[in-house]
Amino acid sequence: MADKSTFTADEWALLLESVMMAGIAVTAAEPSGLWGMMKEGLASSTALLQAKSDGANPLVKALVADFETSEGRTAARDGLQAKLKGAKAADMKARCIETLQQARTTVEVKAPDDAAAFTAWLYQISQRVAEAAKEGGFLGFGGVAVSDAEKATLSEISAALKIA
């Protein structure tokens, strides 16, 4: 069972970043306005809280526990700022997906027994963010639950995480 001690400081920071990037990729694919972005952000946070309370994989629980510390949040925030600084939405999405792929590779090498649960969890975060706010409606009416751009991004995330 992997935990923070299994990884170098840089690798652990990458894993923390990947948790945030899983949701940001979907939001960048089709920004939903202020309310939509708030709903999508809450969906990502809810996934963290749920992993804490359910029977999540030990690596996932270790990541969630680190987000509860100022050190963990700072590492994730600093990594996000460094990787996404100055990026436009399309470039931001590509950088997020690249980070997810790097995180998957890192876990496959360092903690292969945890890789499937870790990547499934990241994908679940992306899926929840995609479903959090309707796209293309007006004042909450109409629109679709998951837009074509979000579906395409979910497909790219699935490929990056090697989820069948």
Q: How far apart are CA 127 and CA 154, in angstroms?
A: 7
Q: How far apart are CA 21 and CA 92, in angstroms?
A: 9
* 46: exposed, middle or buried (Cβ count in 10 Å: 0-12, 13-18, 19+): middle
Please give the pLDDT value at position 146: 78
Residue 68 φ then ψ, to 5°: -80, -10
Q: Which residue has the tokens 């899926």?
A: 127
Q: Domain residues of the chain, as ranges?
A: 4-161
* 98: exposed, middle or buried (Cβ count in 10 Å: 0-12, 13-18, 19+): middle
Please give the pLDDT value at position 114: 95
- pTM, full prediction: 0.86
Please give the pLDDT value at position 28: 85
Q: What is the pLDDT along the chain (164 residues), one digit of tens a residue?
A: 899 999 999 999 999 999 999 998 988 887 666 566 676 667 777 777 787 777 678 999 999 999 899 999 999 999 989 999 988 877 999 999 999 999 999 999 999 999 999 999 999 999 988 887 666 666 556 566 678 888 999 999 999 999 96
87 Ramachandran zone, left/alpha/beta (phi>0; psi -120 to 50) = beta
